[in-house]
Structure 1
Amino acid sequence: MSGCNLDNTIISGPNLFGTQRHLQFLDLSNNNFSGSLPNWMFINEAPLLYLGLAHNSLVGSLDHLMWHLQQSNLQLINISMNYFTGQLPMEISSVFPNLTILDASYNNIFGHLPPSLCNINSLQLLDLSNNKLTGEVPACLFTECWSLEFLRLSNNSLGGPILGGANKHLSTSGGAIYLDSNYFEGPLPNNLSGDVVIMDFHDNKLSGELDVSFWNIPSLEFLSVASNGLTGKIYPTICKLTGLSYLDISNNDFEGSMPNCSSKLMLYFLNMSSNTLSGFPSYFSSSSNVEVLDIRYYRFMGSLDWILDLYHIKLLLLGGNMFEGHISAELCHLQYLNIVDLSHNRLSGSLPPCIGAIPFGYHTDDDDFLSTYFYDMAFYFAVGLSKVDYGDLWPVYDSPLYGANYFFQGFTFSTKGNIYSYSRGFYKLMFGIDLSANMLSGEIPWEIGNLSHVKSLNLSHNFFIGQIPATFANMSALESLDLSHNELSGPIPWQLTQMSSLEVFSVAYNNLSGCIPNSGQFSSFNMGSYSYLGNTNLQNSSQGNQCSVLGPMEVEDVGEASDDPVLYIICAASFVLAFWATVAFLFCLPFGRRVMLQL
């Protein structure tokens, strides 16, 4: 009865369910229930095996709810996304000895994790993420729970050593360990083994080196240690993790050159941004497989010739480095691009017109690593955990827990003058180009106007000349257009008023002239705003399509128009020409000649 918008009376006694003696499966999730849970759901006489109450507004203390219980038959409990508080029973293995799945995520549960969890031999999935748990995690959860396949403790206030200090074989078999967004500290274990597929330790306080020399985890596909305090080099021994598809070591203090793993690591997702590594990214991973590459804010230098081998790249984020040289027309062969960030480098030369032929957004429905991989993992956990002989009573466990949100941490991208964070769907919903803060020159190719799916275009802080292409009006999805700090001239094309999605527009500090459009979205861009600053010859459109010189848009380093020396020169030349023209005319007339001779 999930998602039926039922009334609260359905769970408060007396009711139908309280009188049943054979009911084994009860799913009342997504019903907006409020208030406390009735005791009949947990009494010993109730034969319930599955209880689903997720995504309601239920309240109450787990201490009070489970206080009277001595032993329950429940095997699957899903009370996620409610407002339960209190602590887990210290002797939880005595209360729920047959528990297979416990999902109590997104509540207000506090206190320590009871070590007795390790005594539940049938436990396969444990999700206590997004609560207020504190203290250390019992090491036995990682080394003694041989049936546990999925452990997620993300977004709590847990601390102590990562993995409970375990430095040996992990018992989590063929599954996932999520310990991200906590306060775990100290070094990573250097002597791990097991059959784990996913280890997510991002956003903690880990320190020391990433030394995987003695790791023996051939099944590992996903590793994230992002946003910690890890230091030192990336040792070549990382190349032996040949099963890796997803690696995120961003926002740490790694340094030194990158090892050559290109013939061994077949990564699809690689995020190494915000470190001080050097060398050539193509040496680290087989570039032909990579679909997501983020190496921003490094010290990489040299040309971009190596990116031509990124045949399947979708997110190419190389901003904040020291890359130089021209943007080759070979870039246009990257037909799967959705996001490209080459900002804050030393690139020069003109833009190849073929950029307008890159089909941004046209391949988003194609099968790719991210969607296929995450679907496979979700299916594995949904179906793999249901392989218990309960007949038709055992459901395919359907929970947002298994969505790709929990695998794909997302990216940041600068648009609309701000830096935004995008999570799942970023690479399928957001299409953008950022080439700002380089030394690019020449005219902006009119072919860029063919990019009808692009939502953000930033060409600011370069040396572009010529006029703004009127073809930009064809970029119907464009929300942010930044052409500021260039050397563009001529008027703002009136065709741009057809861009109905445009929210942010800037042509500040160029050499533009003529009237400022005031219809469509342009009516929302304030004349005195940053959009037009530094263009002294731009004029404001009045109702009669006449232009009056803009006064309030003057900047401190620009003089008044009346002090323009060119204006004085034109006036003086006109006066002299008129004088001598008059003299010549008078000499052509008899009367005028006599007057002039007498003078």
Structure 2
Amino acid sequence: MKIIYFSGWCDLRNLKQLDISGNVHQGLPSCLGNLTSLRALDISDNQFTGSLAPLANLTSLRFLSLSRNHFQVPLSFISLANLTDLKILLRDENKLVMEEELFLMGNSFKGPLFPPIPYPDVSSIDISNNKIQAQIPVYICSTFPHLERLLLSLNSFKGNIPPCLGGMSQLSLLDLSNNQLSGGVPEELTMSSSLKILRLSNNNLTGKVVPTIFASNYFLKLYLDGNNFVGEIPDIDSLNVGFPYFLTEIDLSNNNLSGKLPRWIWNMSYLERLALSNNHFEGSIPMELCNLDLLEFLDLSQNNFSGYIPSCFNPPNIQHVHMSRNRLSGPLTPSLYNSSSLVTLDLTANNLTGNIPEWINTLSGLSVLLLKANHLEGRIPVQLCKLCSLSIIDLSQNKLSGPIPSCLGNLTFGSSYDKSLISGGYYYFSEQDIQKYIGMEVNMDQSVGSHSVFSSKVKEWIEFTTKRGSYRYGSDILDYMSGIDLSCNKLTGEIPFELGNLSEIRSLNCSHNKLIGVIPSSFSNLKQIESLDLSYNNLSGRIPIQLVELNFLEVFSVAHNDLSGKTPERKAQFGTFDESSYEGNPLLCGPPLHNNCSNTDSPPTVSTESDDEGEDNLLDMSAFCVSLLISFAAVLLGIFSSLCINPYWRNAWFSFIEDCITTCRFSIVGNVFELYIFRRNAQL
């Protein structure tokens, strides 16, 4: 054992990284708090004990590893509460004081839950993600009287929620999500003075939401999504109950709730994440929404909200805004101007009008822009090209006109780590993550592996149409998805050659427009593309043969254009495309079309078959002439027969002939006389 002497070290006030791990040091010196510039501190694998108070002043600290020492967990960590910039804290393998934890998650356990034998020292139980099919036993409350965290999610628990869980004086986290629980939420549970996080998501819970669940002064996070709750959100202002001052997350999505939103929701000054999607809420979005200064995530999609988006809505930390599939109207609100923190803006399927504003480039952090199925018009602003983080653009089913901006080819469309990130979520830290957070290299022992931090369950999902279908993207898949959908507009002009620079794009849809010109051969550079749709335009020329190099292409369509020439060679991915990919191009030939290219591309040749056809044509002409002569003779014979038989017709016929001869004679004499007079006058 040895004590490390910090004489001289504590004067290094500009030191940013300190690693003294892997020793047998004891006694944490108080002067360590002088190193206020430290961003990374690793004192793991030592024999430190006692208080962590010397670290309380290290407010710039982002990474702290205390692993494998003798600190008392959790008592020693109270002094770290002021480290607001701390992103990663590793504290495994220290001295556990008055706590026992039972972690059995991710197995295939079945049968009864626990024997009714008291285990007073157990503080945490996690048996989530198993195959337990039973009711939650009532005796669990007496078996584990000091339980602080109970996680039973991702099983098949049935029946009602035991009311006794609300009487457990130390229970702060209860996760019963993703089971088959029924009935309502016990009012005893909502009255708990210790419960901070309640997660009942994705069960079969029914009835109206108990008013007291919103009136608790203790709840921090509340998740009731994915159930069958009905009715309106209770107006707790009219009740003689408390107020949820400290609620930071509410998720009521995917229920059958209805009515207007009560005003008290917008007065929760600590609210960071609010998810109310897929319900039947109606009315306008109240102006009180603008009071939520800490709001980071807002999802009001798939409801019946109407009217304008409040002009004052511009929370300084907002990251994700989802208001799709409502009846919102008016132009895009200018309140979002300069919202540099905004990552997702989803206003799909509303009644928005006007142009896409030129100030769109002030949303410098925007990664996902979804404006599909509105009534937007005008040109696509070139300011979109200045959004260097943009990776998903859906402007389809609007009334946009003009050309496709060629500068869209400047977008990088690489993976975006922040696209699905919601503050407070499940984070898994690797060595690369640590380097990202603190901007310097930190060596991590391989035995440490990855470290998870439990917090938020509100997830980021977006819907995007590709491969002839609409798909939901979330989590890591969303981070790597990229695409542009400009279909069903009134766009004109040629497809910019520069779009071939989008080497990371996975989906491009320009169908159902008025585009002309050729398909750019530069599209062969779209090496990651999986769906390319250029159908229903006025494109002409040949399909570039270089497109056969697109090895990830699953869906391809150039149908209903004016293309000509031969279809691409049927190899690799292009061997999988059927006739529907090319139909509606009369001058296009080759498989899988039935139009043979040899009839159009090769010069005509003389063959025996053509000679036979010529002889047949001559015979047909001779037969036609003989038939015509016979018919003419028959007509003349009929006329002469009639004149011989009927004297009246014969006299009429002779009179007609005589008149014609007389008229003809006088006409000739008159013409000769006029010619004589003309010549005589000419001589004079």
Q: Same fold (TM over 0.5)?
A: yes
Change in Cα spacing, 1:213 to 1:260, as seen in structure 2 (3 Å) is: farther
Q: What per-residue deviation string (whole Å, max 9, x for no partner) do you get for residues 334-381 of structure 1?
A: 11101000000000011111110111116x25xx485372458899xx
So what's the TM-score if we normalise by structure 1?
0.74
Do structure 1's residue 92 and structure 2's residue 140 form an aligned pair?
A: yes
Q: Counterpart in 2 of 1:209?
A: 260
The correspondence of residues 81-120 of structure 1 with structure 2, limited to 5 A, is 81-120=129-168
Do structure 1's residue 121 and structure 2's residue 169 form an aligned pair?
A: yes
Change in Cα spacing, 1:372 to 1:80, as seen in structure 2 (3 Å) is: closer
Structure 1 gaps, min length 5: 1-24, 26-46, 380-395, 551-599
So what's the TM-score if we normalise by structure 2?
0.65
Q: Is 1:431–1:454's contact at 8 Å kept on the other side of the alignment?
A: yes
Larger mean Cα displacement after TM superposition, 304-313 or 180-189: 304-313
Change in Cα spacing, 1:118 to 1:349, as seen in structure 2 (3 Å) is: same
SS of equivalent residue, structure 2 residue 342: coil
Alpha-carbon RMSD across the aligned residues, in angstroms, is: 2.6
Q: Is 1:92–1:114's contact at 8 Å kept on the other side of the alignment?
A: no
Match of 1:344 among 397, 402, 405: 397
Q: Is 1:148–1:171's contact at 8 Å kept on the other side of the alignment?
A: no
Offset at residue 95 of structure 1 (A): 2.1
Partners of 2:455 and 2:565 in 1: how far apart?
A: 52
Offset at residue 526 of structure 1 (A): 3.8
Q: What per-residue deviation string (whole Å, max 9, x for no partner) do you get for residues 265-284 of structure 1?
A: 64211000000011233345
Change in Cα spacing, 1:214 to 1:444, as seen in structure 2 (3 Å) is: closer
SS of equivalent residue, structure 2 residue 421: helix
Partners of 2:512 and 2:496 in 1: how far apart?
A: 17
Partners of 2:158 and 2:425 in 1: how far apart?
A: 32
Do structure 1's residue 333 and structure 2's residue 386 form an aligned pair?
A: yes
Q: Counterpart in 2 of 1:289?
A: 341
Do structure 1's residue 309 and structure 2's residue 356 form an aligned pair?
A: no
Q: Is 1:484–1:506's contact at 8 Å kept on the other side of the alignment?
A: yes
Q: Counterpart in 2 of 1:155?
A: 202
Partners of 1:411 and 1:263 in 2: how far apart?
A: 21
Partners of 2:316 and 2:259 in 1: how far apart?
A: 23
Match of 1:186 among 231, 242, 246: 231
SS of equivalent residue, structure 2 residue 218: coil
The correspondence of residues 130-529 of structure 1 with structure 2, limited to 5 A, is 130-142=178-190, 144-162=191-209, 164-166=210-212, 169-173=215-219, 175-191=220-236, 192-213=243-264, 216-264=267-315, 266-283=317-334, 285=336, 287-305=339-357, 306-361=359-414, 364-365=416-417, 368=418, 371=421, 373-374=423-424, 402=454, 406-528=457-579
Q: Counterpart in 1 of 2:616?
A: none
Write the letter of the residue equivalent to 1:166: T
Q: What per-residue deviation string (whole Å, max 9, x for no partner) do you get for residues 124-177 of structure 1?
A: 2111111110011123333x3233222111110011222x2227632434x321
Partners of 1:377 and 1:492 in 2: how far apart?
A: 46
Change in Cα spacing, 1:400 to 1:60, as seen in structure 2 (3 Å) is: farther
Change in Cα spacing, 1:55 to 1:213, as seen in structure 2 (3 Å) is: closer
Partners of 1:180 and 1:111 in 2: how far apart?
A: 18
Offset at residue 77 of structure 1 (A): 1.0
Q: Is 1:498–1:520's contact at 8 Å kept on the other side of the alignment?
A: no
Q: What per-residue deviation string (whole Å, max 9, x for no partner) do you get for residues 301-339 of structure 1?
A: 101124232221100000000100011222211111010
Write the letter of the residue equivalent to 2:354: G
Q: Percent identity?
A: 39
Partners of 1:376 and 1:482 in 2: how far apart?
A: 37
SS of equivalent residue, structure 1 residue 281: coil
The correspondence of residues 22-41 of structure 1 with structure 2, limited to 5 A, is none
Partners of 1:403 and 1:468 in 2: how far apart?
A: 49
Q: Is 1:59–1:83's contact at 8 Å kept on the other side of the alignment?
A: yes
Offset at residue 257 of structure 1 (A): 2.0
Count residues with an aligned counterpart.
474
Offset at residue 522 of structure 1 (A): 4.6
Q: What per-residue deviation string (whole Å, max 9, x for no partner) do you get for residues 1-60 of structure 1?
A: xxxxxxxxxxxxxxxxxxxxxxxx9xxxxxxxxxxxxxxxxxxxxx99221111001110
Offset at residue 264 of structure 1 (A): 4.8
Q: Is 2:344–2:419's contact at 8 Å kept on the other side of the alignment?
A: no
Offset at residue 403 of structure 1 (A): 7.5
Q: Is 1:338–1:428's contact at 8 Å kept on the other side of the alignment?
A: no
Offset at residue 418 of structure 1 (A): 0.6
Q: What per-residue deviation string (whole Å, max 9, x for no partner) do you get for residues 86-136 of structure 1?
A: 111234322221111111111111111111111111112111111110011
Q: Is 2:366–2:389's contact at 8 Å kept on the other side of the alignment?
A: yes
